[in-house]
Amino acid sequence: MTTFIIRRLLSAVVTFFLITLISFVVIQLPPGDVVSNWVRQQEASTGQPLPPETIENLRRTYGFDEPIIVQYFKWIDGFPSGDFGFSIEYSNAPVSEILAQRTGLTIFLGVATLFISWGLAIPFGIYAATHKNSHWDYLLSTLSFIGISTPNFLVAVIYLFIAVFVLKTDYSGGLFSQEFKNAPWTWERLLDFAKHLPIPLAILGLGGMAGTFRIMRANLLDILDQQFIEAARAKGLKERIVIYKHATRIAINPLISRVGMQLPFLISGTIIISIVLDLPTLGPPFIRALNRQDMFLAGTVLMILAFTLLVGNLLADIVLAWSDPRIQYD
Amino acid sequence: MEAVSPATVDWDEMTDTILEVENLKTYFFIEQGIVRAVDGVSFTLQAGKTLGIVGESGCGKSVTSRTIMRLLSPSLARIVDGSILYYPVKGEPIDLAQLDPFGEQIRDIRGNEIAMIFQEPMTSLNPVYSVGHQIMEAILLHQEVTKEEARKQAVEMLRLVGIPLPEQRVDQYPHQFSGGMRQRAMIAMALSCNPRILIADEPTTALDVTIEAQILDLIQQIQADSEMALIMITHDLNVIGEVADHVIVMYLGQVVESAPVDEIFDAPKHPYTQGLLNSLPMIGREERLEPITGSVPGPHERPQGCAFAPRCPHVMNRCRLEEPPSLIAGEFSTVACWLYDEQTEVVYAPG
Amino acid sequence: MTNLGGDAGGGRWIRLFGRRKKNADPAARDEYQLMTVRQLMTRKFLRNRMALLSFIALVIIYLSTIFAGFVAPYSARSSDSKLTYSPPMTIRIRDPETGSFHLPFFYPLRGKRNMETFQLEYVEHREKRVPIQFFVKGEPYKALGIIEWDVHLFGSSDPEERLHIMGSDVRGRDLFSRIIFGGQVSLSVGIFGVMITIVVGSVIGTLSGYYGGVFDNVVQRLIETIRSFPQLPLWMALAAAIPPQWPPEWVYAGIVVVLAFINWTGLSREVRGLVLSLKERDYVHAAEASGASTARIVRKHLIPNMASHIIVTATLAVPVTILGESALSFLGIGVRPPMVSWGLLLNDAIKIQNIVLYPWTLFPGLFILVAVIAYNFLGDGLRDMVDPFAR
């Protein structure tokens, strides 16, 4: 088990370096470098050209006068001390400062969504599989088919429509009321947060549910066809025990390994829904940075997202190894 | 000869009958139509004896056994006719065909009084629970014992079926067992509640020949030690010859011949039984093996008349038109073939 | 569908329900039928009602966008400042006051500013009944980009009174017409993106599967790294790198390339897996042993065996690509005006206030939904079809 984890960790480290490399390439992709973009914006806003020494100075600080490869190493060299570069869009604030709290909220939303979508999808999947070809099975399967076909942003827009027109809520986006937006964590802020949470969570959770439901149903149908299920029935076990203890337990294992495939969609969904609902996650600064070619910020967000995915996959592998005795560790 | 149903044949001293299947019909109702998987099967089983059911794949052997255990999904398969009378130690016989397949009554019988072992030892055990846990599950279900006692019994059962170091093996998972060991563990599980009937559905098909012999020995030895009745389902006549007392030969859901094992091997009557024997390699046999021509027809193309007629070497016009009834062929045997009807002009005399 | 196979002509024959017998008696003939693989596949597909329905829906949608100028009553850009954000107009056949029936008509809308909310509110102008005409003369357009014409499938009979069956946008442009024109972009992005995906994915997949070695290792590591990014954010980042000063057509091409950039990895992995298993088949070994060139083996043995897989994967990749373009345009980093696409049109609905005030701006979303669901059903149907013996 330990060697298995160590090997996975080592492979993850290699992947992480490749991720930083691609993120860096993305930062470099737009024409012109970060400094010249910044200079252009400064000059546009003040109406005066910046003194060439200032520009030179900036270039030297961030190493833009050096070869690309050196720039890359300078960039990743700052990571251990929390330096991911600076942001033009957020008045030169360090990227780490802008993203710290938002990263936490993004991960929180992602994990909460995962649990909500599983909590709903698994029971529905069990019901549909054990009542195969019933009306409810057809209904659930059709709905889930539409569900996996519906893009997240459309789901967000549709749910907002429902929230406003059908449920008549006064939810207008965000995770905090105006007065708590930048306040430190207090009980009142937490309460306010909890009040804002249900609608974004429902949107995200229902979006992720459809796929999980379909896999759960298919898995369980596969398992129910297996010999050991018949053997369990032949022992005289109650149908309920056969289904929950013998079949469901195994049908859930592939779901764990699928977390890895589900996470990117979850992250993509969180990002796009955050943009629509203006949630204080990594989504809004990401799109803002992309629109203004604020590339250190954009590249760092991209990297954080990929890193989250990497860690998520790693955790899923470990949980699976722990839950399924058949996994070989060597 | 006159037409009879084998169950009504007055077997000699049939006092301790334990299971009596009469005209059992299990049909599958699927999208493409009705599949008559079991179509009028009758037999009786006596305590301590072994009934062999033999036939090619797709002839309804497995469906028969699952119908007795009521393991078939009611949304797919229905018992449309017939009865399965089980004679418990005390009390009136129970017709298993009338029970709710998910009900308490059948669940008390399953695993406890009638147990079953399956064809695929590799997939008959749940991969995520230890072998011991799965044996204890059956014990705890049907006996009022504590967990510790159940565990002790499980270890004993593993020892009984010849698994070395049972105290350690009991906590291992199925993937740590070999195929033969898994089948032993399955037998241990099936026998853990001392069932009165054991149904073995091709228990050795997936195993090596040497392991096969060991498993068959084990089953016979256990049977000798108890009064357990055995239904051995197989397509392998060698297995039948080794363990069975009485044999029924099935073809397309029907019993074509029913006879004591010696009669089946020495004087087979039905052309299908003869065909099965002719395709069997035996030591000392000189002539060439003769396979039965053709293959078992699909479920939707059941021929009119005798089901075996398209493949039968002795087929007559009558066979294609009328279905033969079961005819009494000997003291303990019946055969469903027009060759043995007096009205038929016999063109071929067997033996 | 009964085919007794006298006209086999060397096709591949499948035994479906039984054996063919030399002297089968004529009465028994109906019980036995033989079908070619193609017949079997067609039958399977026709039986899958949802897939068939989806196929028909897609054909209709594609034809409407190809002949957008004819189907849409207006051009994508013609605006009317008197009818900004007008709601969808009701098409009537019955006069609501007298109850008499007429050919389809509508009442034009007249805007009035609400002095409390300062919103423009529209009421039907009941005095004027404007008939709806089919094959009506209207704005000139170029059918298929070449033929000049001015006949539209349907439209208002009075050029002064515009008909907006799905409402209009901020500048009073007809939303239905814009959706039809937007479909040209949204749907073609899917097709072109998948074409690139197929070519790049199968070439790289075949090469890395067939030759293995260093090339395979490098490619696999690259694919793994690309796939370690969440898809949409990576698309966003790459799309943002398209220079803002490019003309719209270039941006469009750039978006297609960006979308294909991630999609090819999936297909290439699948093709690699297929090649790895196919190249161990006996007939490939036999071909190698008899001296067939690599090119011939790939052409004669690998491609025909992978074609159905590739087609199914490609069909299922189309909706992913369509969604990618919609999401990017929706977020404002996809195709740029004056081009229109469904995602770009939906961009109007991004603000919650807009959804409340002008819910009809969600119509483009409906079209995205229908197209994507139809492709998914079609892909599912095709997958069943290429596996005619399943179930």
The Cα of A315 is separated from the nearest Cα of chain B by a number of Å equal to 20
Superfamily of the domain at C178-386? MetI-like (1.10.3720.10)
Predicted local confidence at residue A172, as pLDDT = 64
The residues near B295 (Cβ < 8 Å, ≥ 6 apart) are none
pLDDT category, C34, cuts 50, 70, 90?
A: low
Predicted local confidence at residue A326, as pLDDT = 65
Global pTM reads 0.72
A330 CB neighbours in chain B (<8 A) are none
Best CA proximity match to C194, nearest among C304, C41, C323, C302? C323
Q: Does the structural domain A100-323 have CATH classification 1.10.3720.10?
A: yes
- Per-residue tokens: C358: 């002008």
Q: What angle do CA B193, B199, B205 make, to 5 degrees?
A: 120
Tokens 């008509």 identify what position?
C105
Higher pLDDT, B234 or C41: B234
Greatest alpha-carbon pair distance for chain C in Å reads 91
DSSP-assigned letters across all residues of C49-97: HHHHHHHHHHHHHHHHHHTHHHHSSS-SS---GGGTTPPPPPPEEE-TT
B298 CB neighbours in chain C (<8 A) are 17-18
Q: What is the CA radius of gyration of chain B?
A: 21
- Chain A positions with Cβ closer than 8 Å to B: 132-133, 226-228, 230-239, 246, 249-250, 253, 324-326
Q: Do A233 and B120 touch (CB under 8 A)?
A: no
Q: Do C17 and B301 touch (CB under 8 A)?
A: yes
Identify the weakest region by mean pLDDT among A107-121, A172-186, B31-45: A172-186
Q: What is the 3-state secondary structure (H, E, C) of C129-143?
A: CEEEEEEEEEEEEEE
- Per-residue tokens: A249: 């337990």
- Per-residue tokens: A276: 């629509």
Sign of CA dihedral A211, A216, A217, A219: positive
Residue type, B288: R
Segments in C229-302 forming alpha helices (H): 231-240, 248-278, 282-289, 294-297
Best CA proximity match to B129, nearest among B75, B84, B173? B173
What is the share, in percent, of chain C residues with pLDDT greater than 90? Answer: 4
pLDDT at C142 over 60: yes
pLDDT at C35 over 70: no
A222 CB neighbours in chain B (<8 A) are none
Q: Which of A13, A106, A290 to mutate to test the interface with C (most CBs of C within 10 A)?
A: A290
Predicted local confidence at residue C9, as pLDDT = 34
Q: CA–CA separation, A166 vs A170, rounded Å? A: 11
CB of C369 less than 8 A from some CB of A: yes
Do C164 and C363 meet the contact criterion of CB atoms below 8 Å apart? no
Residue type, C53: L
pLDDT in tens, chain B (351 residues): 455 554 444 444 445 889 999 899 998 887 777 888 888 888 999 888 899 999 887 788 889 999 998 988 888 888 988 999 998 888 888 898 888 888 888 888 888 899 998 888 778 888 888 899 999 988 998 888 899 999 999 998 898 888 888 899 999 988 888 888 888 888 888 888 888 999 998 888 777 888 888 888 888 888 888 888 999 998 888 888 888 999 999 988 889 999 999 888 888 888 898 888 887 776 666 677 777 777 777 766 777 888 888 888 888 888 888 888 888 887 888 888 888 876 554 444 443
Q: At A212, which helix (H) or strand (E)?
A: helix A198-224
Q: Do C17 and B294 touch (CB under 8 A)?
A: no
- CA closest to B31 among chain C residues: C391
- CA closest to B297 among chain C residues: C18
From-to residues of CATH 1.10.3720.10 in chain C = 178-386
Specify the 3-state DSSP secondary structure of C319: helix
List of long-range contacts for B317-320, beta carbons under 8 Å, 24+ apart: B318/B344
Identify the weakest region by mean pLDDT among A140-154, B316-330, C185-199, C249-263: A140-154
- Mean pLDDT score of chain C: 78
Put simply, the chain A residues between 160 and 179 with a CB less than 8 A from any chain C CB are: 160-161, 164-165, 172-173
Residue type, C177: S
Q: Do C352 and A306 touch (CB under 8 A)?
A: no
Chain A: touching chains (3 or more CB pairs < 8 Å) = B, C
CB atoms within 10 A of CB C252: 22
- Nearest beta carbon to residue B112 from set A236, A253, A325: A236
The Cα of C48 is separated from the nearest Cα of chain B by a number of Å equal to 14
Q: What is the dihedral of CA C364, C367, C372, C377, to 10 degrees?
A: 160
- Per-residue tokens: B233: 């389902």
A145 CB neighbours in chain C (<8 A) are 373, 376-377
Segments in B267-315 forming alpha helices (H): 271-278
Q: CA–CA separation, B318 vs B344, rounded Å? A: 8
pLDDT at A246 over 60: yes
Cα B256 vs. chain centroid, distance in angstroms? 15
Complex ipTM value: 0.81
A228 CB neighbours in chain B (<8 A) are 123-127
C377 CB neighbours in chain A (<8 A) are 145
Q: CA–CA separation, A316 vs A314, rounded Å? A: 5
Q: At A271, which helix (H) or strand (E)?
A: helix A249-277
**Number of inter-chain CB pairs under 8 A, A vs C:** 127
Chain C: touching chains (3 or more CB pairs < 8 Å) = A, B
pLDDT category, C385, cuts 50, 70, 90?
A: confident
Q: Do C19 and B298 touch (CB under 8 A)?
A: no
pLDDT at C36 over 70: no
Segments in A29-51 forming alpha helices (H): 34-46
Predicted local confidence at residue B14, as pLDDT = 47
From-to residues of CATH 1.10.3720.10 in chain A = 100-323
Q: Do A158 and C365 touch (CB under 8 A)?
A: yes
Put simply, the chain A residues between 103 and 162 with a CB less than 8 A from any chain C CB are: 145-146, 148-154, 157-158, 160-161
Digit-coded pLDDT (tens) for C336-379: 888 888 888 888 777 767 777 788 888 888 888 888 888 888 88
B297 CB neighbours in chain C (<8 A) are 18
CB atoms within 10 A of CB C355: 20
Do B106 and B96 meet the contact criterion of CB atoms below 8 Å apart? yes
Q: Which of A61-65, A142-146, B251-255 has the highest mean pLDDT?
A: B251-255
